[in-house]
């Protein structure tokens, strides 16, 4: 078994080669060509499927991978062809459900403890009855972030290059705005791995008892949600917000009041996420549109792929490209990329023979995209993927299509998205 250091040095060497090639192409005087995508599936460690949630500018892909027999999921790093399980904190499940973007070698996520949750809250949507803790991972070691506010559960979602990890943590206060099985208030926090026992608690909007910090950039801008506890138990959130310069700001809405989440932010402070559709009153099947927000222009809507009804923006890069998930009226899903004001089915840009791309979790500054596939031959989830840009006006593509998914896949998609905090089910 090779050591972690040998793996790291090998990966660094491979990255140096690939970066050199990429930079040479960017410096070429040739006119820009049409971008297509070569899709590679991510190797699994025992199970039959996985999902990439984040990809940073070093090409590190993070997400979740199923264990043998698909009994549990484990937080995973895919490092240039290597599949590296991150481990657990004593319980059966762990995961990295949000994009991990830093390039300092830090990953962050959620993991079961070995202790049953006394309130049975299902805080991290693993549906296994255990308490759940935020964690950070570095140099092959997974470390739980301590609960310091008196609650039983916490979640970590993103980190910057300075060791700051954002997420949310329960307090000891019973929150009357929660929907069972949720019981306790949760608040947005920023830990620093050099002093994790003293997290900084971020303010919520006036009148909002709860909130969650979801993403951070290198300029200490943080985005997430603010609202009543019950809004995050199946409705998304009342308000999408940004924290900067010591204050919290409401990003606005498209007219809906339940399903608003700021999910990602790039280095220029451009925010992506999703917002509730106007006049949406169906709390069991919320309707939403992806968005981008800038300080100068405010909100811009990301429409679904043609023929679909909902869109969610999960990841954004410094070029302003957004990737995510487009969903039709029957709950069928496909990955999209939004650029230059247009939403495009990512499957329409992949090379022939590529697997069907169910959703896209993140995109880095090189244009590499990660997410999850669907295996049409088995009718089940497939492994995670990385889609790599290929230039050329004459490069052929496959046929775009929106396939009909079986009901068990619909349900499992909802569970996966529950770990991002927004499915219509009694879980956060």
pLDDT tens profile 286-329:
689 999 999 999 999 999 999 999 999 999 999 999 999 999 98
pLDDT score, position 20: 33
Q: How far from 348 is each of 3, 26, 33, 48, 154, CA to CA, in Å?
A: 40, 24, 16, 25, 39
Find how far residue 241's CA is from the centre of its chain: 17
pLDDT at 226: 96
The pTM is what?
0.86
**15 pLDDT higher than 70:** no
Mean pLDDT within 157-177: 97
SS3 category, 59:
coil
CA distance 296 to 332: 35
Alpha-carbon span 130 to 116, nearest angstrom? 4
Residue 54 neighbours by CB under 8 Å, 6+ apart: 61, 62, 63, 96, 98, 99, 100, 101, 315, 361, 362, 370
The token pair at 287 is 């309707």
Residue 175's pLDDT is: 96
Q: Which two tokens stand for residue 237?
A: 């959130």
Say how far apart CA 296 and CA 285 lie, in whole Å: 32
Cα gap 37→346, rounded to integer Å = 8
Q: Is 338 helix (H, G, I), strand (E, B) or coil?
A: strand
Q: Does the pLDDT at position 406 exceed 80?
A: no
Bridge partner list, 348:
none
Q: Is the pLDDT of residue 254 over 80?
A: yes
For the chain, give the number of residues: 428
Q: Which residues pair with 200 in a beta bridge?
A: 190
pLDDT of residue 284: 53
The pLDDT value recorded for residue 4 is 34
Radius of gyration from C-alpha coordinates of the chain:
20
Which tokens belong to 174? Answer: 């019973």
- At residue 285, the pLDDT reads 62
- Residue 356: closest CA among 328, 389, 332: 332
d(CA 269, CA 244): 10
Q: Is the peptide bond before 69 cis (omega within 30 degrees of 0)?
A: no
Residue range 143-168: average pLDDT?
A: 96
Q: Which CATH superfamily is domain 38-418 in?
A: TolB, C-terminal domain (2.120.10.30)
Q: What's the rounded mean pLDDT across residues 133-152?
A: 96
Whether the predicted pLDDT of 132 surpasses 70: yes
**425: burial class by Cβ within 10 Å (0-12, 13-18, 19+)?**
middle
Q: Which two tokens stand for residue 56?
A: 């940073």
Confidence (pLDDT) at 16: 35
Q: Which residue has the tokens 């040095």?
A: 9
Are the beta carbons of 212 and 257 closer than 8 angstroms?
A: no
Contact 141, 111 (CB under 8 A): no
Amino acid 399: pLDDT: 54
For residue 135, count CB atoms less than 10 angstroms from its CB and return exposed for 0-12, middle for 13-18, buried for 19 or more.
buried
Residues 133/124, Cβ–Cβ less than 8 Å: no
**Residue 13: pLDDT over 50:** no
Give percent above pLDDT 90 in the chain. 70
Q: At residue 417, does pLDDT exceed 60? A: no
How confident is the model at residue 259, as a pLDDT? 86
User: Cα angle at 77 between 115 and 55, to 5 degrees?
Assistant: 120
Sign for the CA dihedral angle at 33, 35, 38, 42 comes to positive
pLDDT of 412 strictly over 70:
no
Q: What is the pLDDT of residues 37-88, one digit of tens each?
A: 999 999 988 888 899 999 999 999 999 999 888 889 999 999 987 899 999 9
Count Cα atoms within 13 angstroms, Cβ side, for 270. 16
233: its two tokens: 């138990």
Q: Please state the domain extents for the chain.
A: 38-418
Say yes or no to pLDDT of 245 above 70: yes
Alpha carbons within 13 angstroms on the beta-carbon side of residue 61 total 31
Tokens for 315? 């990841």
**Which residues neighbour 23 within 8 Å (Cβ) at sequence distance 6 or greater?**
none
Give the bridge partners for 336, in sequence order.
324, 345
**Strand (E) or helix (H) holding 397:** none
Stretch 369-374: mean pLDDT: 96
Instruction: Find all residues with CB under 8 Å of 299, minimum gap 6, and list them.
Output: 251, 252, 254, 275, 291, 292, 293
Q: Considering the chain, what percentage of its residues have pLDDT values greater than 70?
A: 81
Mean pLDDT, residues 385-398? 77
Q: Give me the torsion for CA of 136, 141, 146, 151, rounded to 10°.
A: 70
Structure tokens at 10: 């090998």
Beta strands, E only, 56-192: 61-66, 73-79, 82-87, 94-95, 106-116, 130-138, 141-144, 150-159, 164-174, 184-192
User: How confident is the model at residue 34, as a pLDDT?
Assistant: 76
């Amino acid at each position: 078994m090779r050591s972690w250091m040998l793996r790291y040095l090998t990966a660094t060497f491979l990255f140096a080669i690939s970066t050199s090639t990429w930079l040479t192409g960017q410096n070429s005087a040739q006119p820009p060509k049409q971008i297509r995508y070569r899709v590679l599936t991510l190797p699994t460690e025992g199970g039959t499927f996985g999902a990439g949630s984040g990809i940073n500018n070093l090409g590190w892909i993070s997400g979740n991978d199923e264990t043998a027999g698909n009994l549990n999921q484990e937080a995973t790093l895919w490092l240039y062809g290597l599949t590296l399980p991150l481990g657990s904190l004593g319980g059966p499940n762990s995961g990295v459900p949000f994009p991990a973007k830093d390039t300092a070698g830090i990953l962050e996520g959620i993991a079961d403890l070995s202790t049953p949750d006394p309130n049975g809250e299902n805080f991290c949507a693993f549906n296994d009855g255990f308490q759940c803790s935020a964690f950070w991972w570095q140099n092959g070691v997974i470390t739980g972030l301590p609960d310091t506010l008196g609650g039983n559960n916490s979640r970590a979602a993103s980190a910057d290059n300075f060791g700051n990890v954002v997420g949310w943590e329960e307090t000891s206060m019973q929150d009357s705005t929660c929907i069972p099985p949720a019981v306790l208030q949760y608040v947005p926090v920023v830990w620093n791995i050099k002093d994790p026992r003293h997290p900084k608690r971020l303010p919520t909007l006036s009148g909002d008892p709860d909130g969650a910090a979801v993403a951070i950039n290198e300029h200490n801008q943080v985005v997430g949600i603010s609202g009543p506890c019950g809004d995050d138990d199946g409705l998304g959130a009342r308000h999408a917000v940004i924290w900067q310069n010591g204050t919290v700001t409401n990003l606005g809405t498209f007219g809906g009041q339940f399903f608003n989440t700021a999910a990602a932010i790039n280095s220029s402070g451009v925010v992506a996420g999703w917002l509730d559709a106007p006049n949406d009153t169906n709390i069991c099947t919320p309707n939403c549109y992806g968005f981008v927000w800038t300080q100068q222009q405010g909100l811009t809507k990301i429409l679904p792929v043609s023929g679909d009804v909902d869109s969610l923006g999960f990841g954004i890069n410094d070029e302003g490209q957004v990737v995510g998930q487009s969903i039709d009226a029957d709950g069928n899903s496909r990955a999209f990329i939004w650029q230059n004001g247009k939403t495009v089915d990512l499957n329409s840009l992949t090379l022939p023979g590529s697997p069907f791309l169910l959703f896209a979790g993140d995109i880095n500054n090189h244009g590499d995209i990660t997410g999850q596939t669907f295996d049409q031959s088995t009718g089940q989830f497939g492994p995670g993927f990385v889609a790599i840009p290929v230039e050329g006006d004459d490069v052929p593509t496959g046929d775009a299509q929106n396939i009909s998914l079986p009901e068990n896949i619909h349900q499992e998609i909802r569970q996966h998205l529950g770990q991002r905090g927004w499915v219509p089910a009694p879980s956060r």
